[in-house]
Amino acid sequence: MAKKVCTHFIGFRGDEYNSAKKIWGEPDFIHPVHDRRAYVEIDRDNDILIFANKERPEVLSKYRREYADLSNVTKVPYNAWAYL
């Protein structure tokens, strides 16, 4: 059985988010920034990542202190976007 492909919106706010929803539909995950924390939920082999105007696939933001599950992320795939 094939894994479900999830859509991730990264860095969208306000009108950008509404416009992206019209094109891509409702996202499965919303990430406020592109950071290490997002990779807890991203399946880089199957998922689709949609970046807002200010976010870049090659730039990782510093993660936030309140992320309790960040210890689950050990390595960030810097070339994770090659599969798209």
**Contact status, residue 48 vs residue 5, Cβ threshold 8 Å:** yes
pTM comes to 0.71
Ramachandran area for residue 60 (φ above 0: left; ψ -120 to 50: alpha; else beta) = beta
Q: Which pLDDT does position 72 carry in this prediction?
A: 57
Radius of gyration of the chain, Cα coordinates, nearest whole angstrom: 13
Q: Which pLDDT does position 27 carry in this prediction?
A: 95
Every domain of the chain and the residues it spans? 7-76
Six token digits for residue 10: 């990264």
Q: Which pLDDT does position 30 carry in this prediction?
A: 93
Signed CA dihedral, 19, 24, 29, 33: sign only: negative
Give me the tens of pLDDT residue by residue for the chain, a chain 84 residues long: 667 899 999 999 889 999 999 999 999 999 988 888 888 899 988 999 999 988 888 888 875 655 555 555 555 554 544 433
